[in-house]
Amino acid sequence: MPNRPIIKVNLQNTVTKTDFEGFNKLHTGKVRDTYERDGKRIIVTTDRQSAFDRILAAVPFKGAVLNQFAAFWFDKTKDIVDNHLISTPDPNVSIVKKLKIFPVEVVIRGYITGTTDTSAWVNYNNGERLFCGVQLPEGLKKNQKFDTPIITPTTKPETGHDEKIARDEIISRGLVSENDWSKIEDYALRIFQRGSEIAAEKGFILVDTKYEFGADEQGNIYLADEVHTPDSSRYWVADTYEAKFAAGEEPDSFDKEFLRLWFVDHCDPYNDEILPEAPAELVEELSYRYIEIYEKLTGREFKYNADRPILERIQENLNNYFLG
Could you give phi then psi for residue 57, rounded to 5 degrees?
Answer: -170, 175
Taking only the tens place, the pLDDT of each residue in 264-305 is: 899 998 899 999 999 999 999 999 999 999 999 999 999 999
Residue type, 61: F
DSSP at 152: -
DSSP string, 271-285: T-SSPPPPPHHHHHH
- Which residue, among 65, 7, 84, has the nearest Cα to 288 in the 3D structure? 7
pLDDT of residue 100: 96
Helix (H, G, I), strand (E, B) or coil at 41: strand
pLDDT of residue 234: 93
- Expressed in angstroms, the distance from the first to the final Cα of the chain is 35
Angle (CA) 219-222-227 rounded to 5° is 160
Distance of CA 268 to the CA centre of its chain: 22
235 neighbors 121 (Cβ within 8 angstroms): no
Between CA 7 and CA 4 the distance in angstroms is 5
pLDDT of residue 160: 62
Kindly give the parts of the chain with pLDDT less than 70: 158-160
Residues pairing with 43 in the sheet: 34, 94
Rounded alpha-carbon distances, angstroms, from residue 234 to 30, 37, 99, 146, 322: 18, 34, 26, 15, 35
Could you give phi then psi for residue 105, rounded to 5 degrees?
Answer: -90, 135
pLDDT of residue 218: 97
